[in-house]
Structure formats: C-alpha cells, structure tokens
C-alpha cells in the first residue's frame, strides 16, 4: 500500500487534454483495517471531494460550491483516475458543471455541481446545533475491526460514543460527532465533502452485530455558503447524521454539518445499497 497525506490524495494534475488526474491508493480504502486495503475501494468522500475540485480547477470556477451530486457507478481501482469536467452553462451568478471520472474501461463516477455567488436577500437559519463543546469530548479512534482505512485521516469526537450495534434504538438511529481531518487544516470545501461521508452507516447504531454491509450508490451535498479559513481555523465541524429509511435492501441517510460557532454549513443525503448476507 502506498501511503499518502490527505493533501496528496486531494491533489489534481492537468493531463494536457482538459482533464485532470488524481492518484487513488489503498491508504483511503473503505475496507476495515482488519482487512487488506485492496479488499475495499477508494472512499466515497474522497472521490466526491475530487469531483468538486476537478470542476473548480479544470473550469476555472471561483464562485462557492452550492451543490454536488455524485453517482458511484462502479468501484474505482487503486491507481490514477482521470476526471473530466464539462461546463454545462456558466453565467455571472451561477455555473453548472458535470464531471466524469474513471479508469481505462471502467467509468466510476458521474457528478453534477452547481456553483453560485451570494446576493443580497432575506435570511432564515432554522437549523440549530445543540452540541457539546468539542474540547469537552475525548478523541475516539474507530475500532480497527469496523473502522475503514480512510478513518486514519479523521479525528472523531463522539458526543455519546460511537453507539454501535444496538446502542441506539430503532426509533432513534442518530449519531452526533465532531470531526476534523487529522492535518488540522482550516476547514475548506474539499475537507467538508470528505467529512460529510466520514462515518460508518448510521443504521449500524440501531442493528445488532455483525454489521450489515452496504455500498454507496449516490450522495448529494448542499453547501450553504462560502468556506473561508476563518470558518473553522482548526478544521472542526459538528455533524448530526440520521437514518431516514431502511428497507427493501436500501438505506437513506441524512446529515447536517455545523461550524464551531453553530452556523449550519451543509446538508447531505446518501443512498446505500445493502449487500446480501453471506
């Protein structure tokens, strides 16, 4: 396994034809650390962050990211991946972009991104974080039996523990956690997208062990405003994740991210396909 820093994993290199290339390694595998990294695939949060960055960098877009929708068509391999952004429509206030990503003979990801600037208008902020102070909580590395390889790059501080395997009831499948990337860099667009997929399936908190494995099918993130180095200088954000529905072999899970000052930053919805038990 080739180890990487997070900054190296997020780096994009122009390929000379309008596309960009990132290098995916087993360091960011979604396999548990009890297994070899190659038993998994590149972490979906990293791929989402790369897709948004490819649209911004490849198309020269400077306005804030507003929404990103990612369809995970197939598991990418641990090798260089090409990301090709296309400007669908660009205006002074809003730009729409698509990103196709994959490897030879293996389309892996299709993403759609919307970028747009703020303009004066009415304001409502009904989402409120009722979070314990981050400094009052202990860092909790995930158990290697269940924690994927990519979680080595995330510091977790759970409000009431990881809640795994039935510690939450079926009527309250909720997980509340502070997270930041372990480089403690100021929170930015790519790192927020990375963290929005930074925990295990929330239904694991309501179901008994062994865990029911699933694969991400699609993810949509909506960001509420521009992230600056002052938003979270130490990289922290507070997250509340909830299972909205589980049945028929599918799960739908939602999350909200808040800045340290309590300001809502983003919402995310992820659809998972449950894998058959073996």
If we measure between CA atoms, which residue out of 174, 18, 49 comes closest to residue 111? 49
Q: Is residue 51 part of a domain?
A: yes
CATH of the domain at 255: 2.40.160.210
Residue 51 — very low, low, confident or very high, per pLDDT cuts 50/70/90? very high
Residue 91 — very low, low, confident or very high, per pLDDT cuts 50/70/90? confident
Q: Is residue 253 part of a domain?
A: yes
Task: State what percent of residues in the chain have pLDDT above 90.
Answer: 93
Q: What is the pLDDT of residues 224-242, one digit of tens each?
A: 999 999 999 999 999 999 9
This prediction's pTM:
0.96
Q: Is residue 92 part of a domain?
A: yes
Residue 278 — very low, low, confident or very high, per pLDDT cuts 50/70/90? low
Residue numbers of the domain that contains 100: 6-117+137-274
Hey, CA dihedral for 100, 103, 107, 110, is it positive or negative? negative
Domain count, the chain: 1
Q: What is the pLDDT of residues 259-271, one digit of tens each?
A: 999 999 999 999 9
The residue length of the chain stands at 278
3-state DSSP call for residue 33? coil
Q: What is the pLDDT of residues 159-175, one digit of tens each?
A: 999 999 999 999 999 99
Q: What is the pLDDT of residues 181-236, one digit of tens each?
A: 999 999 999 999 999 999 999 999 999 999 999 999 999 999 999 999 999 999 99
* 17 dihedral zone (left: phi>0; alpha: psi -120 to 50; beta): alpha
Q: What is the pLDDT of residues 7-18, one digit of tens each?
A: 999 999 999 998
pLDDT at 1: 56
* Rounded CA separation 252/191 (Å): 23
3-state DSSP call for residue 270? strand
- b/e per residue, 86-107, with b = 16+ CB within 10 A? eeeeeeeeebbbbbbbbbeeee
Q: Is residue 162 part of a domain?
A: yes
Q: What is the pLDDT of residues 107-158, one digit of tens each?
A: 999 999 999 999 999 999 999 988 999 999 999 999 888 899 999 999 999 9
Q: Is residue 128 part of a domain?
A: no
Q: Is residue 196 part of a domain?
A: yes
If we measure between CA atoms, which residue out of 129, 126, 226 comes closest to residue 186? 226
Average pLDDT over residues 79-87: 98
3-state DSSP call for residue 256? strand
Residue 253 — very low, low, confident or very high, per pLDDT cuts 50/70/90? very high
Considering only the C-alpha atoms of the chain, give the largest distance between any 2 of them, rounded to a whole number of Å: 55
pLDDT at 92: 82
Residue 276 — very low, low, confident or very high, per pLDDT cuts 50/70/90? confident
Q: Under a CB-based contact definition with an 8 Å cutoff, are residues 74 and 107 in contact?
A: yes
Which burial class, exposed, middle or buried, applies to 49 when counting CB atoms under 10 A from its CB (0-12, 13-18, 19+)? buried
Q: Is residue 183 part of a domain?
A: yes
Q: Is residue 224 part of a domain?
A: yes
Spell out where 104-231 has E strands.
Answer: 106-116, 154-158, 174-181, 214-223
Starting at the earlier edge strand, list the strands of the sheet with 250-258: 13-14, 20-23, 80-90, 94-103, 106-116, 65-72, 214-223, 264-274, 250-258, 237-247, 174-181, 154-158
148: β partners: 32
Residue 2 — very low, low, confident or very high, per pLDDT cuts 50/70/90? low
DSSP state of 208: P
């Amino acid at each position: 396994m080739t180890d990487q820093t997070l900054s190296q994993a997020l780096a994009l290199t122009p390929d000379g034809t309008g596309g960009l290339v990132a290098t995916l390694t087993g360091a960011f595998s979604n396999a548990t650390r009890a297994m070899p990294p190659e038993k998994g695939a590149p972490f979906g949060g990293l791929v989402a962050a790369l897709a948004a960055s490819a649209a911004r960098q490849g198309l020269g877009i400077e306005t804030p990211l507003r929404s990103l929708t990612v369809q995970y068509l197939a598991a990418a391999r641990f090798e260089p991946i090409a990301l090709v952004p296309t400007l669908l429509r660009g205006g002074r206030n809003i730009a729409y972009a698509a990103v196709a990503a994959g490897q030879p003979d293996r389309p892996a990801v299709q993403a759609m991104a919307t970028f747009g600037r703020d303009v004066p208008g009415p304001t409502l902020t009904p989402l409120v974080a009722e979070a314990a102070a981050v400094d009052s909580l202990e860092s909790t590395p995930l158990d290697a039996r269940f924690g994927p390889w990519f979680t080595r790059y995330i510091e977790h501080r759970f409000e009431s523990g990881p809640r795994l395997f039935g510690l939450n009831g079926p009527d309250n499948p909720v997980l509340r956690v502070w997270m930041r990337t372990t480089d403690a860099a100021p929170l930015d667009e790519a790192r927020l997208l990375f963290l929005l997929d930074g925990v295990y399936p929330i239904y694991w908190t309501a179901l008994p062990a062994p865990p029911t494995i699933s694969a991400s099918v699609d993810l949509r993130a909506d960001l509420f405003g521009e992230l600056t180095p002052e938003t979270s200088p130490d990289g922290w954000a507070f997250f509340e994740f909830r299972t909205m529905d589980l049945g028929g072999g599918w799960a739908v899970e939602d999350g909200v991210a808040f800045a340290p000052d309590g300001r809502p930053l983003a919402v995310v919805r992820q659809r998972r396909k449950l894998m058959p038990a073996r």
